[in-house]
Amino acid sequence: SQQGEEDPQALSIQEGENATMNCSYKTSINNLQWYRQNSGRGLVHLILIRSNEREKHSGRLRVTLDTSKKSSSLLITASRAADTASYFCATDDGNTGKLIFGQGTTLQVKP
């Protein structure tokens, strides 16, 4: 079953611009993770944020988590054409080890 919604479903920007993707979920979580998937390939783990954290940075990535609103956002700054991919959030309830994925955002960065 899907955990929740991601928006936008698709995003097209110019190289150098920032890209923001949002994720909402329904149940309590232990952590939330963001993954990238290039077309037809496997997933690459980007960043993990725990339920007691509000913001986390990794290079050009900034993730926020608002557990009161059950939502998270992923910001990619100074985007590059190589950032073109689908981005998924996934939640872990901390009990079963299962990851429940959002529907994903397809990002296109035009050179």
Partner 1 sequence: GAVVSQHPSWVICKSGTSVKIECRSLDFQATTMFWYRQFPKQSLMLMATSNEGSKATYEQGVEKDKFLINHASLTLSTLTVTSAHPEDSSFYICSARGLETYTDTQYFGPGTRLTVL
40 part of the interface to partner 1, by CB under 8 A: yes
- Taking the CA atoms of residue 108, residue 86, residue 3 and residue 51 in that order, the dihedral angle to the nearest 10 degrees is -90
- Measured CA to CA, the distance from residue 93 to residue 97 in angstroms comes to 7
Count the site residues for partner 1 by CB under 8 A: 26
Amino acid at 19: A
Task: Tell me whether residue 41 or residue 110 sits nearer to partner 1 (CB atom).
Answer: 41
* Residue 89 Cβ vs partner 1, minimum distance, rounded to whole Å: 10
Binding test (CB under 8 A) with partner 1, winner from 15, 20, 22, 48: 48
The CA distances from residue 14 to 46, 48, 50, 84, in Å, are 22, 27, 31, 11
99 part of the interface to partner 1, by CB under 8 A: yes
What is the bridge-based pairing of β-strands 99-101 and 71-76? Answer: unpaired
68 part of the interface to partner 1, by CB under 8 A: no
Tokens coding 72: 């998270």
Q: Which stretch in 28-36, 52-60, 63-71, 72-80 sits in contact with partner 1 by CB under 8 A?
A: 28-36
Give residues in contact with partner 1 (CB under 8 A). Answer: 1-2, 30-31, 33, 35, 40-45, 48, 50, 88, 92, 94, 96-104
